[in-house]
Chain A
Amino acid sequence: MDYLLFGYFAGVIALTAVFVVAFRNPVYSALSLLIMFFHVAGLYVTLHAEFLAAVQIIVYAGAILVLYLFVIMLLNLKTDDRYHSQWRAAAVVGGALLIEFLVLLAGSLSAPPAAVPRVDIETGDNTLAIGETLFSTYLFPFEVASLILLVAMIGAIVLAKREVPETPAS
């Protein structure tokens, strides 16, 4: 059952990920991305990480992708052909990734799979576990990450903000 679900989610993720770059219409790409986010969330649920699944949907599907759609519609890109003939760059990146994949596959075939402790979805509190880990073991990286995000936010405001002239330009 687990393998069946994983196969389904992984298959749909791979397929929609390809669709994201394959569609000519950017709105269709965004929708494929939406389907992909949902299946990634589904994958988290099968791993009993339901908190991550919900956050995945809220953050990526609910906020970031809506902003993408917003930009796509404001720019009104119907079909932009400028970026559709980059197969040389794609071949280089794809080749590197393929080699990496093969190396990883060879490594994982020899090593035994690590035992993952399972938390029961009815009793285990996934949210509590994540919260305690974040604020004890990984407190410093967590704070650093939030600081970096704050800097990025301030940077975006500084870049976007323009000084309003005192008197309207004549």
Chain B
Amino acid sequence: MTELSLRLAVSLAQIAAVMGIVMLTVMILTLAERKVLGWMQDRMGPMEVGPYGILQPIADGLKLFFKEDIVPAGANKFMFSLAPILAMVPALIGFAVIPFGPSETIELFGMTIKPFVISDINIGVLYILAFASIGAYGIILGGWASNSKYSLLGGLRSAAQIISYELNVGLAIVGVLIMAGSLSLVKITDAQAGGFWHWYVFAFPAPQIFAFVVYVISAVAETNRVPFDLPEAESELVAGFFTEYSGMRFAFFFIAEYANMVLVSCVAAALFLGGWNAPYPGTILAHIGLEPFAWIEGVAWFTVKVYGFLFLFFWLRATLPRLRYDQLMKFGWKVMLPIALANIVVTAIAMYIYNQFK
């Protein structure tokens, strides 16, 4: 029994650490987005709260926490409260299978612990896809329960969009799965060790460049970000599915969106860009004799890759105008889907031939 409770304690500590990091990242992102957008538009961004505006996220959080919580008349109260939770839980739960650092195990209290992944289950990728698809419920139900035309339209748009682009995300990943021969994110990341030419974007015999592009575009669409933010298009729908939300419930939707961004960035980094593996063989810290600290370098590389993706999100937002709805659907089904399918066929054939001659 003590072993079970110890294991539980360790797992809870890991979950708390990951949640803390994710929440901190979300806080940083809210500021970083406004700063980056500001710089790109030749502005300063938020400057008032704290030195250089760096305390802005705390001020935002406090404001949202103390705002009045309004439930519109005629709204379905139960669903209205449930929807933000349904949106936020799937966004956070996916982090359980993300490997943040090297997969070596440490011995602690007589049991083996993988310090940088909460749970290395052998269907890791599917687990993330499964919960990403559940995120749509929060948005649809939030739109429906608000009893508002704008919210409902936003929710319905988002449902159609998420279903369409989820398919492309899933199919884009398949190429990587064929090459890795595993669904575990830890194993996939380990298979990409030894330099950037082993990363699946560039790896022989079937570089997943097309799959990577499809994944990134679909991931932007699935997180409802510009240029695919039709569910919350201000000019048409006020604010889409969360028009009627205020206070903490709005904050939940907000956190869910940013946590989803972090999650898809983590998945992209782990699947296509080698996860925590450095772009050169081994690690510098190990080469100069600091083997026990090599994990710092791994985690740092992972962080760099994830933040690179997050910057891409901001960059797109500052650069591209919003798509029209029919363009969005046409693009998803007539361009992205064929590319993803062709990529699977080509990758499968290439891997087959490669394994014959190996």
List which B140-194 residues lie within 8 A (CB) of chain A.
140-141, 143-144, 152, 155-156, 159-160, 162-163, 166, 170, 182-183
* B 127-142 to A, binary, CB cutoff 8 A, 1 in contact else 0: 1011111101100110
A34 at the binding interface (Cβ < 8 Å): yes
Q: With A27-B144, A34-B137, A66-B159 known to touch, is A54 a contact of B130 (CB < 8 Å)?
A: yes
Contact B133 A58 (CB under 8 A): yes
Chain B contact patch, size range:
20 to 34
Within 8 A of B (CB), among A41-95: 50-51, 53-55, 57-58, 61-63, 66-67, 69-70, 73-74
Q: Within 8 Å CB of B79, what residues of A?
A: 27
Q: How far is the CA of A53 from the CA of B126 in the complex (A)?
A: 9
Flag if A126 contacts B123 (CB, 8 Å). yes
Interchain pairs with CB closer than 8 A, number: 74
Contact B130 A62 (CB under 8 A): yes
Tell me if A125 is interfacial: C-beta within 8 Å of chain B.
Answer: yes
Cα distance A54–B170 when bound, in Å?
13
| Contact residues in B for A27 (Cβ distance below 8 Å) | 76, 79, 141, 144
Q: How far is the CA of A50 from the CA of B136 in the complex (A)?
A: 22
Is B122 an interface position by the 8 A CB rule? yes
A127 touching B140 in the complex, CB below 8 Å, given contacts A62-B134, A63-B133, A74-B156: no
Residues 106-150 (chain A) with a chain B CB within 8 angstroms: 121, 125-127
Kindly provide the distance from the CB of B330 to the nearest chain A CB, expressed in whole angstroms. Answer: 15
A62, B132: Cα distance in complex, Å: 8
Of all chain B residues, the one with the shortest Cβ separation from A73 is: B144
Inter-chain contact B163/A58, CB cutoff 8 Å: no
Q: Shortest CB–CB separation between residue B133 and chain A, in angstroms?
A: 3
A-B contact pairs, 22 of them (CB 8 A): A27-B79, A27-B141, A53-B123, A57-B130, A58-B126, A58-B129, A58-B130, A58-B133, A61-B133, A62-B133, A62-B134, A62-B166, A66-B162, A67-B163, A69-B137, A69-B141, A69-B159, A73-B140, A73-B156, A74-B156, A126-B123, A127-B122
Contact residues of B with A, CB < 8 Å? 76, 79, 121-123, 126-127, 129-134, 136-137, 140-141, 143-144, 152, 155-156, 159-160, 162-163, 166, 170, 182-183
Additional A-B contacts beyond A55-B126, A66-B137, A69-B144 (4; CB < 8 A): A51-B123, A58-B130, A66-B133, A69-B137
